[in-house]
């Protein structure tokens, strides 16, 4: 597909890298020479110097022939006008990054009037991801599929856990009352594994399990991880993510405190979030954290603009025994460091936005009716979890799973008429089924790409 990206910042370049890897024809438009040079040094893409609202720059970038235009600059207004200009020139589909909360209520009107096909608000999407993570304080992440019916949760296996030291095929034989979930992925050191029946879990493994909501909940109760309810949350940094997250948590009747060092931002937050406790101060100040009751909160979330400060404050919260610590990071090379010091739940706004946009691109790219519905990158991007809706008259329909091959992939669950099932050899995929797979391959946009009749 021909894709034009307007804005070569962190999100734009990350998107471009992923799209180039998936063999799309990518052009990036930006006004900054340094940004363009950085991209040219690292990407096999075309670069055009100019503004996204300039029809001449967009014509030079080929927007009139583009299948998709993605406006990802840091300015909402430029993104909206860029999409309008590109669509007027002839672009087929336009995606705009719009982040300001002031536009939230008027988005349907703006989309219609400015001919924007899809809007991504990375900060709001990140806040939604964090709010889901708080349901399982011990987990590294929680992903949902099939309109919330299926959940995928990861946790770190510990010495004494019922599944440790047993082949996967024997876990439920030895633990007959254990709710049956599918262990679909394991991260061991630098290795990402889609396990088979003879695989043995070791202490320290990061284990991904998937099943329906009730079974997942009962499974963690059974293995003693517990469902500790989050009743109080402290947030460091009064960013847009913090604003959206606070709104969501307050609606869930969770007590929220936000620490913000900027007096103007703190005052604005106190006006827009009267139910929250807004604290003006430095979130890395240990004395301030202690005086505001850090040791008593159920979760601590660092959302400042500086990764180093987020890491320092998060590490201190872990040392003080806070059960759930979530750290925002924009640098991929910090992940290993954070895991080594006990910061296992890391959120990246860039990655959240990339996942959403890549899913949309793959859905547009697929010629099959079974295109990508949801997509998550797991294990630092080495494995993808994807949801499809099976089409009519596809080659794999009615074929028993034992007669299908799926190299480097695992069919995790099938959801049919609201019922969630882990598929076995004689199970089949039928038209309309929601199918969740894990894949070590990237760029998968259709079930036909991975499911082949033997």
Q: Which residue has the tokens 């099938």?
A: 414
- Give the pLDDT confidence score for residue 412 in this predicted structure: 93
- The phi and psi torsions of 28 (rounded to 5 degrees) equal -115, 135
Mean pLDDT for all residues in the chain: 90
Query: Which of left, alpha, beta for 342 (phi over 0: left; psi -120 to 50: alpha)?
Result: left
- Say yes or no to pLDDT of 291 above 80: yes
Among 109-123, 198-212, 435-449, the minimum mean pLDDT is found in: 435-449
Average pLDDT for 280-290:
95
Average pLDDT for 255-283:
96
- Say yes or no to pLDDT of 64 above 90: yes
- Give the pLDDT confidence score for residue 193 in this predicted structure: 93
Based on the fold, state whether residues 6 and 116 are members of the same structural domain: yes
Position 342 in a domain = yes
Position 361 in a domain = no
- Say yes or no to pLDDT of 229 above 80: no
Final residue of a domain: which of 198, 222, 246? 222
Position 358 in a domain = no
Based on the fold, state whether residues 248 and 311 are members of the same structural domain: yes
Per residue in 328-383, pLDDT (tens digit) is 998 777 776 777 777 878 899 998 999 889 888 887 876 555 567 888 888 878 89
Residue 379 neighbours by CB under 8 Å, 6+ apart: 185, 187, 192, 206
- Give the pLDDT confidence score for residue 366 in this predicted structure: 61
- Give the pLDDT confidence score for residue 223 in this predicted structure: 87
Position 356 in a domain = no
Among 61, 53, 54, 49, which Cα is nearest to 25's? Answer: 61
Based on the fold, state whether residues 296 and 381 are members of the same structural domain: no
Based on the fold, state whether residues 279 and 172 are members of the same structural domain: no
Burial of residue 264, with CB atoms counted within 10 A of its CB: 0-12 exposed, 13-18 middle, 19 or more buried: exposed
Q: Which residues make beta-bridge pairs with 153?
A: 142, 209
Most confident region among 134-143, 216-225, 304-313 by mean pLDDT: 304-313
Position 352 in a domain = no
As for how many domains the chain has, the answer is 4
- The phi and psi torsions of 309 (rounded to 5 degrees) equal -65, -40
Among 10-24, 62-76, 365-379, the minimum mean pLDDT is found in: 365-379
Task: Report the alpha-carbon distance of residue 113 to residue 95 in Å, rounded.
Answer: 14
Number of H helices, E strands in the chain: 14, 24
Q: 21: domain CATH number?
A: 3.40.50.720
Start-end of H helices in 4-152: 10-21, 33-42, 55-61, 76-89, 107-114, 122-133
Based on the fold, state whether residues 83 and 162 are members of the same structural domain: no
Q: 139: domain CATH number?
A: 3.30.70.1450
Q: Which two tokens stand for residue 347?
A: 């959120």
Instruction: Decide: 131 and 248 in contact? Cβ < 8 Å.
Output: yes
- Give the pLDDT confidence score for residue 375 in this predicted structure: 84
Based on the fold, state whether residues 150 and 213 are members of the same structural domain: yes
Position 142 in a domain = yes
Task: Report the alpha-carbon distance of residue 115 to residue 411 in Å, rounded.
Answer: 37
Task: Report the alpha-carbon distance of residue 403 to residue 221 in Å, rounded.
Answer: 36
Based on the fold, state whether residues 175 and 212 are members of the same structural domain: yes
Based on the fold, state whether residues 84 and 162 are members of the same structural domain: no
Position 360 in a domain = no
Percent of the chain at pLDDT > 70 equals: 97
Position 355 in a domain = no
- Say yes or no to pLDDT of 8 above 80: yes
Per residue in 114-158, pLDDT (tens digit) is 999 999 999 999 998 898 888 777 887 888 888 788 999 999 998
- Say yes or no to pLDDT of 80 above 70: yes
- Say yes or no to pLDDT of 59 above 90: yes
Final residue of a domain: which of 312, 347, 382? 347
- Give the pLDDT confidence score for residue 382 in this predicted structure: 87
Based on the fold, state whether residues 329 and 425 are members of the same structural domain: no
- Give the pLDDT confidence score for residue 360 in this predicted structure: 85
Task: Report the alpha-carbon distance of residue 212 to residue 194 in Å, rounded.
Answer: 20
Final residue of a domain: which of 168, 199, 222? 222
- Give the pLDDT confidence score for residue 121 in this predicted structure: 93
Based on the fold, state whether residues 233 and 343 are members of the same structural domain: yes
- Give the pLDDT confidence score for residue 365 in this predicted structure: 72
Among 166-180, 234-248, 294-308, 349-363, the minimum mean pLDDT is found in: 349-363
Task: Report the alpha-carbon distance of residue 185 to residue 192 in Å, rounded.
Answer: 7
Based on the fold, state whether residues 333 and 396 are members of the same structural domain: no
Based on the fold, state whether residues 76 and 16 are members of the same structural domain: yes
- Give the pLDDT confidence score for residue 371 in this predicted structure: 66
Which range of residues forms the domain containing residue 78?
2-120
- Give the pLDDT confidence score for residue 437 in this predicted structure: 94
């Amino acid at each position: 597909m021909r894709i034009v990206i307007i804005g070569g910042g962190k999100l734009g370049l990350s998107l471009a890298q992923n799209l180039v890897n998936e063999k799309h024809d990518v052009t990036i438009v930006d006004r900054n020479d340094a940004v363009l040079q950085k991209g040219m040094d690292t990407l096999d893409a075309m670069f055009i110097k100019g503004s996204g609202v300039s029809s001449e720059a967009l014509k030079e970038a080929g927007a009139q022939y583009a299948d998709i235009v993605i406006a990802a600059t840091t300015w909402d207004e430029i993104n909206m006008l860029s999409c309008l200009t590109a669509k007027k020139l002839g672009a087929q589909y336009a995606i705009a990054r719009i982040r300001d909360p002031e536009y939230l209520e008027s988005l349907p009107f703006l989309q219609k009037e400015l001919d924007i096909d899809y809007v991504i608000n990375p900060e709001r999407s990140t806040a939604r991801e964090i709010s889901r993570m708080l349901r399982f304080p011990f987990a590294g992440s929680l992903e949902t599929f099939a309109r919330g019916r299926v959940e995928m949760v990861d946790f770190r296996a510990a010495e004494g856990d019922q599944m440790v030291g047993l082949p996967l095929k024997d876990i439920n034989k030895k633990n007959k009352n254990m709710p049956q979930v599918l262990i679909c992925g394991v991260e061991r050191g630098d290795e990402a594994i889609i396990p088979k029946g003879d695989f043995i879990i070791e202490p320290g493994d990061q284990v991904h399990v998937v099943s329906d909501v009730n079974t997942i909940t009962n499974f963690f109760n059974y293995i003693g991880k517990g469902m500790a309810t989050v009743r109080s949350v402290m947030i460091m940094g009064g960013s847009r993510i913090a604003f959206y997250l606070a709104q969501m948590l307050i609606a869930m009747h969770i007590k929220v405190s936000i620490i913000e060092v900027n007096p103007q931002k703190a005052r604005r937050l106190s006006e827009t979030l009267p139910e929250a406790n807004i604290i003006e101060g430095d979130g890395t100040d240990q004395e301030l954290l202690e005086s505001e009751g850090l040791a008593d909160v159920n979760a601590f979330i660092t959302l400042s603009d500086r990764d180093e400060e987020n890491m320092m404050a998060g590490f201190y919260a872990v040392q003080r025994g806070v059960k759930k610590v979530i750290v925002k990071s924009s640098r991929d090379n910090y992940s290993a460091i954070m895991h080594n010091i006990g910061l296992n739940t890391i959120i990246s706004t860039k990655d959240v936005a990339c996942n959403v946009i890549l899913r949309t691109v793959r859905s547009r790219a697929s010629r099959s009716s079974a295109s990508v519905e949801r997509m998550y990158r797991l294990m630092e991007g080495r494995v993808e979890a994807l949801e499809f809706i099976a089409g009519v008259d596809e080659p794999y329909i009615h074929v028993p799973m034992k007669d299908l091959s799926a190299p480097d992939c695992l069919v995790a669950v099938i959801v049919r008429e609201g019922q969630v099932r882990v598929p076995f050899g004689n199970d089949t995929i039928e038209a309309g089924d929601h199918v969740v797979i894990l894949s070590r391959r990237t760029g998968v946009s259709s079930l036909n790409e991975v499911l082949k009749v033997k």
